[in-house]
Amino acid sequence: MSLRPFKAVAKVNIFLKITGTRGAYHEIISRFMRIESLYDTITFKPKADTAPFVLHGHFTCRLEDNTLYKAYCALKEQSCAARVHDFFTAHQLVVEKRIPAFGGLGGGSSNAATLLLACNELLALGLSKETLCAIGLRIGADVPFFISQYHSANVSGIGEIVTPYEEPPLKLHVTTPDIEISTPRVYQSYRKHHFNPLSEHDAHRWAERSSEEILQHTSIAEANDLFVPACHEYPDLKLHVKPAYFFSGSGSSFFKVVPHG
């Protein structure tokens, strides 16, 4: 008997500003907002074979590079390794993908976070949110946000600091052109050609502004420091820029507010 499915929702970056560097990483201040209407579905289904990890879904990467497999491996490094091993020996993962890959919507990170949260619940692992976030950060910088399950949050550092931001939910329309963006390539372009980190004072000001106010009074390039370097590396992105749309993460997705009513 299959267990209930779990939703792995997408996110957008209302704004994304670079505040500095930490070795090879970039420190940021960004407003993440969940998109509840756009999600992958993860289901655990019984299987007869004894393979340690079986994943079914439309993925283009190698299994070893998949965030779900990385989450599984990270859980096995905890004290609960035997329970995790037995569960995945008895169950396969079936993923229905809806979140576009390489779109700046956090699909891979959301998948990993959802697996960690689901296993913590189903296997009664008793891991705290702090522990799950620490595990998730080793998988991807956006994973702690999805583990937090906040609807809207300011994310800073290299993704490890997640602070809830109380505001009414916005109805957003998301569009993703068929352009596969490499996040490391965009960040490298920013560091090489566009490096201009935000001051601590200005970062605090961005963190205080509501998402609605930001989207009403800033431009696409002002709101996201990665938009210009992304266009520099992927010129075809410019063909998809439309009035009132903003840019999520390192791309390639664009989004805009849909008026109520």
Q: Residue for token digits 């929702």? A: 9
Contact 198, 206 (CB under 8 A): yes
Crossing angle for the helix pair 107-122 and 67-76, to the nearest 10 degrees:
40
Main-chain phi, psi angles of 213, to 5 degrees: -65, -40
Contact 40, 8 (CB under 8 A): yes
The question of whether 256 is a catalytic residue gets the answer: no
Residue 199: count of CB within 10 angstroms of its CB = 10
- DSSP annotation string for 128-153: -HHHHHHHHHTT-TTHHHHHHT-SEE
**Distance between CA 99 and CA 207 in Å, rounded?**
27
The question of whether 142 is a catalytic residue gets the answer: yes
**75-85 burial: b if 16+ Cβ within 10 Å, else e:** bbeeebeebbe
- Catalytic choice (11, 17, 40, 225): 11
- Catalytic choice (129, 142, 202, 242): 142
Q: Which of 23, 7, 219 is nearest to 95 (CA)?
A: 7
Catalytic residues: 11, 142
